[in-house]
Every structure is written in structure tokens, then in C-alpha cells.
């Protein structure tokens, strides 16, 4: 028999808020990505007595292949029933055009599909894993969540990212130390049209850096220039002569004629800060 979790009182109070918020609903569908946030939310739902819980994950070209595999694996590890919905956001003009409101249009399309499928399967309420820290960043997708009446219980309970990681660690969830991820479209500057080919080139470039052991990776595209963002302590990994040569060859093979290392290192929301 597993030992009962010893949860700090502040996290316990936040969990109670989540449970109180969702207690009226016997069936809940969670928009699941397999990341840190949605995995903890799904785990919290699964431990609530008498709940029917379904995970709905949207497979799109905006997610790297390894994330797709990871989502299925994580769902199986926590005992979450998972249904996959396929969708190509680049087929939607308002998303493909990649304006400053891309995230809003994309989130609306994704959640519309999730909500429709959830209702068809008998799950009238959909929840997702946004947290309180998201309020400090440019997140136009939050408006879409509100319009679609999607619940964000972690945010409502005051869970911040550090809280989510700590609670995930205590629960033994495999995602607790997973690097933060975002959709591949965030690597492309606003105003540059999105295509599956461009997204896959970015994915292949980032995969090379992950394989080197970088702890966080973004490859930002500026036309035929690839700007590498990794944590400064990881700079030596790519500056060794033999690795640097392989990196240049790999990136150039993907169609990037110029490759640069951003000396500021990895930082979340790069384009949003530039356009703020």
C-alpha cells in the first residue's frame, strides 16, 4: 500500500480549491498535452472519488514528435484514458497568417474541437492547465478559453509554476522536471506565414540540440537565419569544434544559411517581448 502523500499546507489548500470548484461535475474532460501542468491537473482529477475523467489531446504539426509520444506515455503512466484528435492549424487562414493574435485564433480552433468531442462522448465540462503565473505573460489564448467556457482550475486556485512542479514531484509524476515547452509556431516571428515544412525544419534543428544534452532549447527563425537559444551554461556543448561543425552541417542541410547563438540565452516569450 503506497504511503500517504505529505503535502505542504499551502498546496493542500490550493488542491481543496480545485476539488471544490470541480465537485459539482461528475464527468470531466481535460485538455491534455502531457506537459507539467495538464499532467498534474489530470492527476488531481483522477484522485477525486466518483469522477469520470477523459483526456483529450489534439495532435497537430505545432507539437514536436517526441512530445506526441510523451503525451501518450504519460497518460498511460497516470491511468488517464486518452483520446486523440487530429488537426492542422495551418489549414486555418487566421492561424496560418501568424498575426499577434495567432494564439487566440489557434486556441479557439483547438478548444472548439475538444469541447465538441467531449460533449459527444458525454463529458459536458472541459478543463485545462493554465496557471496563475500565465497572467504575467502575453497570452491571447486566455480570451479564447473564457469565450469557450473552458475552466482553468489551477489558475483559479492560485497554483503557480513552482507549485505545480513541487506538487508533481511529491506525487511522483514523471513530468515534474520536464522542461517547459511551447508550440513550434512560437519559433516563427509574427507576420511570417506558417507552414508544416517550416515547423518540421525547426523541430529537426531543435532535436539536434536536445540530443547534445541541452537542458532547454529554442531555435528562432529569421528567414534563412536560425537563432539558437539555450541556457548559457550549455554554450560549451555546441562550441566544441567537432560539434560546431556537425551543427552547421545539420542546420544548413535544413535550409538555414546562417546560424547564430543568442548570447542572452534561452528566454520564454521572445517574440512577445520584442513586440510588447
Identify the burial level of 276 via C-beta atoms within 10 angstroms of its C-beta, where 0-12 means exposed, 13-18 middle and 19 or more buried: exposed
Quote the pLDDT of residue 273: 56
Identify the burial level of 6 via C-beta atoms within 10 angstroms of its C-beta, where 0-12 means exposed, 13-18 middle and 19 or more buried: exposed
Quote the pLDDT of residue 138: 74
Q: Is the dihedral of CA 240, 266, 261, 227 positive or negative?
A: positive
Quote the pLDDT of residue 69: 86
> Is the pLDDT at 31 greater than 60, yes or no?
yes
- Return d(Cα 105, Cα 108) in angstroms, integer: 5
Domain chopping of the chain, boundaries: 9-171, 184-274
Mean pLDDT of the chain: 93
| Lateral strand order in the sheet of 218-222 | 218-222, 225-229, 258-261
Q: How far is CA 192 from CA 83, 169, 186, 217, 222, in A?
A: 32, 39, 11, 21, 9
Average pLDDT over residues 206-212: 96
Give the pLDDT confidence of 84-127 residue by residue, as tens digits: 999 999 999 999 999 999 999 999 999 999 999 999 999 999 99
> Is the pLDDT at 220 greater than 50, yes or no?
yes
- Return d(Cα 186, Cα 89) in angstroms, integer: 13
| Answer CATH for 9-171 from 3.10.180.10, 1.25.40.10, 3.40.50.620, 3.40.718.10 | 3.40.50.620
The domain made up of 184-274 has a fold known as Alpha-Beta Plaits (3.30.70)
Amino acid at each position: 500500500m503506497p504511503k500517504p502523500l505529505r503535502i505542504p499546507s499551502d498546496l493542500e489548500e490550493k488542491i481543496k480549491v480545485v476539488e471544490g470548484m470541480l465537485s459539482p461535475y461528475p464527468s470531466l474532460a481535460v485538455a491534455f498535452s502531457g506537459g507539467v501542468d495538464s499532467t498534474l491537473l489530470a492527476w488531481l482529477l483522477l484522485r477525486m472519488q466518483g469522477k469520470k475523467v477523459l483526456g483529450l489531446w489534439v495532435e497537430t504539426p505545432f507539437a514536436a514528435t517526441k512530445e506526441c509520444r510523451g503525451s501518450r506515455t504519460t497518460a498511460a503512466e497516470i491511468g488517464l484514458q486518452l483520446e486523440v484528435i487530429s488537426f492542422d492549424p495551418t489549414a486555418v487562414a487566421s492561424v496560418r497568417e501568424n498575426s499577434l493574435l495567432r494564439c487566440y485564433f489557434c486556441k479557439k480552433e483547438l478548444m472548439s474541437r475538444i469541447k465538441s468531442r467531449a460533449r459527444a462522448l458525454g463529458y459536458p465540462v472541459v478543463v485545462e492547465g493554465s496557471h496563475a503565473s500565465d497572467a504575467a505573460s502575453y497570452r491571447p489564448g486566455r480570451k479564447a478559453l473564457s469565450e469557450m467556457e473552458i475552466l482553468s482550475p489551477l489558475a483559479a486556485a492560485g497554483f503557480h509554476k513552482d507549485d505545480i512542479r513541487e506538487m508533481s514531484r511529491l506525487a511522483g509524476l514523471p513530468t515534474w522536471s520536464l522542461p517547459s515547452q511551447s508550440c513550434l509556431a512560437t519559433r516563427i516571428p509574427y507576420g511570417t506565414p506558417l507552414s508544416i515544412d517550416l515547423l518540421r525544419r525547426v523541430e529537426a534543428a531543435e532535436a539536434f540540440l536536445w540530443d547534445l544534452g541541452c537542458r532547454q532549447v529554442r531555435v528562432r527563425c529569421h528567414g534563412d537565419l536560425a537563432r539558437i537559444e539555450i541556457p548559457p551554461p550549455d554554450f560549451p556543448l555546441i562550441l566544441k569544434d567537432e560539434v560546431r561543425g556537425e551543427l552547421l552541417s545539420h542546420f544548413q542541410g535544413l535550409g538555414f544559411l546562417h546560424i547564430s547563438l543568442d548570447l542572452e540565452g534561452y528566454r520564454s516569450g521572445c517574440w512577445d517581448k520584442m513586440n510588447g
